[in-house]
Copies of this chain bind each other. A is one copy, B any other.
């Protein structure tokens, strides 16, 4: 009873293309909806403040691999990647709902481990689990989390607010989560060949933690707030720096110049990248899942921001619309194109 006369493969559009395509046909009618689909979170006017709503879904075999993902970490990550979207609006999360579909291969003890991770994330980020759904699935696990938060009206940071000459900043360092994933995938492949092999992941704790247990940057939102800095635009780095820069350029209708040597990469990331014959900066640009914050601030905030620990100024916004450029040490520019992780193209 279900027949498609037309057949367009979803992967042709990719995840962002699909979301763009769908959201075009939805017109928001409630005037309280300040921002619907298309930013890190929806923004709803509560009168005194804005409410933020964000949702993410993780599926087994696509977003996580049960072979090397501890269930507690999975629960933790499912929550924190959502909280990251609320922080990316310069807001603070308050509540989450969690829905999980599980196949019969999961035991009660397994479910408890997932919820232990969810609980730890709730405690660490001071959010309450207020609802959810736990259902059975025929195959594999799917986790869907919705986060609700708040932000002062004067502080909200959209993707669309970047202006020419604004400084471009990132928190922490980039590329580590991607290399953590590569290490885990390598061990999985070796384990398949020889199940008696002990995993050799010593010394890479930082990279593994970045992949398995990402911490969203609540501290950076706080730091900016305490120093009176309101970002002109902000996004969290889930799909790689390149991809997020292009989102900001597109939504703000601007361009950008990024200086390669300014991109923060941890020395462990560089070392591990060499192991895989990749360039550390490439991992930082395209790796994804770092859950750091990418944001822009006014030039006038330079003196304050340059002193803030954990924040790197990596470039500036230009008026050259949609031209995102990467500048190397020889002052040569190349165009940034997104090779970021894309849910549909990945398969």
Q: In the complex, how many residues of chain A place their beta carbon closer than 8 angstroms to a beta carbon of chain B?
A: 89
Q: A19 at the A/B interface (Cβ < 8 Å)?
A: yes
Name the residue on B nearest A48 (C-beta). Answer: B47
- In the complex, the answer to whether B59 meets A10 with C-beta atoms within 8 Å is no
Contacts of A130 in B (CB 8 A): 28, 33, 36-37, 42, 44, 53
Interchain CB contact under 8 A, A59 and B29: no
In whole angstroms, what is the CA distance A104 to B14 when docked? Answer: 12
Task: Give chain A's interface secondary structure class.
Answer: mixed
Q: Does the CB pair A9–B59 fall under 8 Å?
A: no
Indicate if the CB atoms of A136 and B343 lie closer than 8 Å: yes
Given A2-B67, A104-B9, A146-B146: A137 in contact with B140 (beta carbons within 8 A): yes
Which chain B residues border A347 with CB–CB below 8 Å? 104, 136, 138
0 or 1 for each of A134-157: is its CB under 8 Å from B? (1 = yes): 111111101010101000000000
Interface hits, A63-96 → B, CB 8 Å: 63, 66-71, 94-95
Whether A56 contacts B133 by the Cβ 8 Å rule is yes
A203 to B104, CA, bound (A): 38
Contact in complex: B71, A2 (CB < 8 Å) = yes
A9 touches B108 (CB 8 A): yes
The answer to whether B29 and A126 have CB atoms under 8 Å apart is: yes
A228 on the B face (CB < 8 A): no
Give the residue name and chain of the B residue nearest to A131 (CB): B42
Contact B37 A109 (CB under 8 A): no
Residue of A1, A15, A100, A112 contacting most chain B CB atoms (<10 Å): A1
A189 to B: closest C-beta gap in Å: 14
Question: Mask for A17-46, Cβ within 8 A of B = 1, else 0?
Answer: 011011001101110110011000110101
Q: Contact check: which of B19, B115, B136, B138 meets A344 at CB < 8 Å?
A: B136
Contact assessment for B140 and A107 in the assembled complex, using a CB-CB cutoff below 8 Å: no
- Is the C-beta of A11 less than 8 angstroms from some C-beta in chain B? yes
Query: Which residues of the partner chain B approach A126 to less than 8 Å between Cβ atoms?
Result: 29
> Given the complex of chains A and B, what is the CA–CA distance between A57 and B66 in angstroms?
21
Beyond the given pairs A139-B139, A142-B144, 11 more chain A to chain B contacts, judged by CB atoms under 8 angstroms and listed by A's residue number, are A6-B107, A10-B102, A29-B126, A29-B128, A33-B95, A33-B128, A37-B129, A51-B51, A57-B101, A60-B138, A137-B140
Nearest 3 interchain pairs by C-beta: A42-B130, A144-B144, A8-B108
Q: List 13 A-B contacts (CB under 8 A).
A: A2-B70, A10-B104, A18-B108, A22-B112, A33-B130, A36-B128, A37-B130, A57-B144, A58-B135, A59-B142, A60-B138, A101-B142, A139-B140
